[in-house]
Amino acid sequence: MKGLRLLPLLCLLLAAGPADAQSGRPAGTLRGVFISDPPTLDPAQATDTTSSAVVRQLFDTLVELDERLQPGPGLAERWTVSADHRVYTFVLRPGVKFHNGRVMRAADVKFSFERASRGKRPWVFEKIAGAPAFIKGGAGEIPGVRVVDERTVELTLDKPFAPFLHLMAYDAASIVPREEAVRLGTAFANRPVGTGAFRLKEWRRDDRVVLEAFADHFRGAPHLERVVFRIIPAEITRFHDYKAGNLDVSDIPTGHCRAVKADPALRAQVAIWPTLGTHAVRFNVEKPPFNDRRMRLAVAHAVDPAAVVEGLLEGCVTAGKGILPPALPGYHAGVTAPGFDRARARQLLAEAGFPGGRGLPPITYHFNTSDLNQRVAELLQAQLREVGITLELRRLDWAAHLKVVDEGAVTMFRQGWIADYPDPENFLTVLFHSRNVGAAGNTSRYRNPELDRLLDQADVMPAGPARFKVYQGAEQRLLDDGAWITLYHYASRALIRPTVKGLERSPLSTAPEFLAPLRKVKIE
């Protein structure tokens, strides 16, 4: 997900379990924290983990992923799949209510999917028959989304797609009430209405986002009465607030991992786990100088990821060379990427026409606000200076960073990615297929017909080793072309107060956001 953001730190996948109603009245407040405000609370526009952290509390999807990342019932109580794996028929739970009190119907599913398909994540729906034409404005509806009756909706795909059920658990597939979305228009992003276990009570920009329990949730009222996400940009301030007892969860600050793990007062509250995410340096390959492969590879050889992994992050993250993280199905340890080699970097720089960096204008490196991102940027600046490349740093808040990146107004930039679902397609096709150039995910604006062919081939193959092998070939092609630089694969580094019960850790979550329902979390 665009996860894009590197994101702050504590996304715990909280409690996605069976549909048992909670007993008793909601009580207690979970005090969480974000680095910055979410750019949007509209699931059709959400592309980052901060927005998702709130969206997933306010809305529900047909399918939910459990803590093992397996699909299970959400708003749909059951479904069937045709023998050719192209037709999915979902039966909705009876009596599910939106926050405005109206009962959800199958027509809401069709409206929500058609609305979101023209949002920021069209690839979630493009496998559905007729969706590409609708997305481009050439059709009045998506014929592959058919309302059978009040509680039944049928989705027909053009071709089989192995992880389709996982797609149906993604934010963009959240169900919204037509009347509220139409009435509010773009203001729906600030005044969202869903079916989720919580509803928005208050959003004070640059201060906090407050959620309150929705007593009529179809699974029963959540344990918590409120969730408060405070906005605290400085990681050391978040850390001090946690130690002072003002937060229930927080991330571990950069450079403090070993010390916190050794602190008798804190070590029992430390939680570190690998996640399906990658911190990357990306290039806009449409803009000079990175429309030249030699320049991309020169930078790749000039960067030493070990200085970030072992230095700044004290070995508390996973070193990486490829695009796919080790915990992702389909990961291949044998991929090769340009290694740290200053002599080779200088040679490529000269071959590109800039011997010793002479004649090369300064390059602006954009990154989003975070203490870690600042320190990584300064380290990159020093490393590139060693081979003659001048890097100028530009720090923006998260929403502003997303805007310039999505618009292609940057040359070199930081942009992480956290999987939306556990499949290589969510990294390789979403981030590098030419049809996804721009806000849909391919912010590198990378176009390669042969890569598109490989990805299209893999996308329709049945699940299994043969499909993974095609993706691995695509990944190697991207690395050989210098399409991006992996600095490391994410690991969530969190502090969790002992009074917080029911938090489950998922490889889809990173601190400090929460990327799954908080409905089972309780404070004791």
Kindly write down the DSSP assignment for every residue of 466-484, as one continuous string: HHHHHHHHHHHHHHHTT-E
Q: Three-class SS of residue 459?
A: helix
Kindly write down the DSSP assignment for every residue of 341-367, as one continuous string: -HHHHHHHHHHTT-GGGTTPPPEEEEE
Contact predicate 45/54, CB 8 Å: no
Q: Three-class SS of residue 21?
A: coil
Residue 516: per-residue pLDDT: 66
- The residue ranges of every structural domain in the chain are 60-184, 275-490
Largest CA distance in the chain: 71
According to DSSP, the residues that pair with 468 across neighbouring strands are none
pLDDT (tens digit per residue) in 388-440: 999 999 999 999 999 999 999 999 999 999 998 999 999 999 999 999 999 99
Q: Three-class SS of residue 391?
A: strand
Within 8 A by CB and 6+ apart from 240, the residues are: none
Tokens of 462: 């049945």
- Give start and end residues of each alpha helix (H) in 36-163: 49-58, 106-117, 131-135
Residue 508: per-residue pLDDT: 82
Q: d(Cα 206, Cα 231) in Å, to the nearest integer?
A: 6
Query: What is the pTM assigned to this prediction?
Result: 0.86
Contact predicate 226/211, CB 8 Å: yes
Asked, colleague to colleague, whether 60-184 and 275-490 share their fold, the answer is no
Q: What is the CATH code for 275-490?
A: 3.10.105.10
pLDDT (tens digit per residue) in 219-271: 999 999 999 999 999 999 999 999 999 999 999 999 999 999 999 999 999 99
Which residue, chain included where needed, has tokens 């070193």? 319
Q: d(Cα 283, Cα 412) in Å, to the nearest integer?
A: 5
- Cis omega (within 30 of 0) on the bond before 274? no
CA dihedral 365, 369, 373, 378 (to 10 degrees): 50
Report angle CA 463, 437, 305 to the nearest 5 degrees: 75
CA dihedral 402, 403, 409, 415 (to 10 degrees): 10
Instruction: Enter the DSSP assignment of 494.
Output: E
Q: Which residues of 420-447 are buried (b: 16+ CB within 10 A; e: fewer)?
A: bbbbbbbbbbbbbbebbbebbbbbbbbe
| pLDDT under 50: residue ranges of the chain | 3-21
Residue 4, CA atoms < 13 Å, CB-side half-sphere: 33
Residue 16: per-residue pLDDT: 34
Q: What is the CATH code for 60-184?
A: 3.90.76.10
Q: d(Cα 432, Cα 473) in Å, to the nearest integer?
A: 14
Is 136 exposed, middle or buried, given 0-12, 13-18 or 19+ CB atoms closer than 10 A?
A: exposed
β-strand pairing of 391-396 with 363-368 = parallel
Kindly write down the DSSP assignment for every residue of 285-307, as one continuous string: TTSTTTTSHHHHHHHHHH--HHI
